[in-house]
């Protein structure tokens, strides 16, 4: 805790003695406190300590209407308004369009961010797209095979039509998994088959799922999630 800059060593001891510290969900015991800062989730007063060699990893359920940028000269709403970290500055991994919602990962781990966004790693991204009209199977097959966009043919995608009770007769809900991250890719893919995307939500990136994180909220990734994320980009070190 002291190494992570939370408090002094003396205060740390007192907090442990007062039951304010948990390790992997269990109240820490003063007696035999053996912890592994790289793998254990350590919380003080219920708040996760950001200590992983100074690395911070967060996920946000982005709201539509927020720009994926770290600053905006026009003072518009930006994703940084929705997150906070105690001591470290973090950056979004890739970007979502202003009107796109859902999973956005943040970190100050530049090497991981680079690997996650580098085209060669083909990290999968899963989206829910509410589109205008009812694209037929032939059109969806074109998305599955790869479709010609102005910057080249897209990689094969997984495409699944979902039932959506809330959708009216002229709207469809489609789940797509893509393995690249071109600008406005999903919208351009649907536009190429003649369907406008009305609403877009990312629900997964590599091994990380949005789960039940409420819209507009963020949380720290667990150690296990960070491990999986690193593994997904072929990082053998996973440190």
Q: Rule CB under 6 A: which residues touch ligand URA?
A: 96-97, 100, 184-187, 200
Smallest gap from Cβ 171 to ligand URA, in A, equals: 17
Smallest gap from Cβ 62 to ligand URA, in A, equals: 9
Q: Which residues contact 72 (CB under 8 A, 6 or more apart)?
A: 78
State whether the Cα torsion 92-96-97-98 is positive or negative: negative
Instruction: Compute the distance between CA of residue 68 and CA of residue 186 in angstroms, rounded to an integer.
Output: 17
- Beta pairing, strands 42-44 & 47-48: antiparallel
Smallest gap from Cβ 152 to ligand URA, in A, equals: 16
Contact 229, 222 (CB under 8 A): no
- For ligand URA, which is the closer residue by CB, 129 or 229? 129
- For ligand URA, which is the closer residue by CB, 187 or 195? 187
- For ligand URA, which is the closer residue by CB, 43 or 125? 125
Name the β-bridge partners of 231: none
Which letter, b or e, does each residue of 104-113 get, where b requires 16 or more Cβ atoms within 10 Å of its Cβ? Answer: bbbbbbeebb
Smallest gap from Cβ 197 to ligand URA, in A, equals: 7
Per annotation, catalytic residue among 40, 97, 168, 235: 97
Whether 77 is a known active-site residue: answer: no
- For ligand URA, which is the closer residue by CB, 62 or 230? 62
The catalytic residue positions are 97
């Amino acid at each position: 805790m002291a190494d992570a800059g939370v408090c002094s060593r003396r205060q740390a001891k007192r907090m442990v003695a007062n039951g304010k510290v948990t390790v992997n969900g269990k109240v820490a015991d003063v007696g035999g406190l053996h912890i592994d800062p790289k793998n254990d989730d350590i919380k003080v007063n219920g708040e996760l300590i950001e200590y992983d060699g100074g690395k911070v990893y967060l996920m946000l359920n982005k709201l539509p209407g927020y720009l994926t940028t770290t600053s905006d000269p026009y003072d518009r709403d930006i994703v940084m308004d929705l997150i906070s970290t105690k001591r470290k500055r973090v950056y979004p991994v890739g970007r979502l369009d202003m009107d796109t919602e859902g999973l956005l990962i943040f970190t100050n781990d530049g090497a991981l961010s680079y690997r996650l966004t580098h085209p060669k790693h083909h990290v999968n991204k899963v989206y829910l797209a509410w589109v205008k009209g009812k694209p037929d199977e032939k059109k969806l097959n074109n998305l599955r095979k790869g479709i010609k966009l102005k910057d080249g043919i897209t990689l094969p995608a997984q495409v699944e039509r979902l039932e959506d009770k809330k959708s009216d007769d002229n709207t469809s809900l489609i789940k797509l998994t893509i393995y690249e991250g071109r600008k406005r890719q999903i919208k351009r893919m649907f536009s190429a088959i003649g369907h406008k995307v009305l609403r877009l939500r990312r629900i997964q990136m590599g091994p990380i799922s949005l789960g039940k994180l409420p819209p507009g909220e963020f949380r720290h990734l667990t150690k296990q999630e960070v491990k999986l994320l690193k593994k997904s980009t072929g990082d053998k070190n996973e440190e």
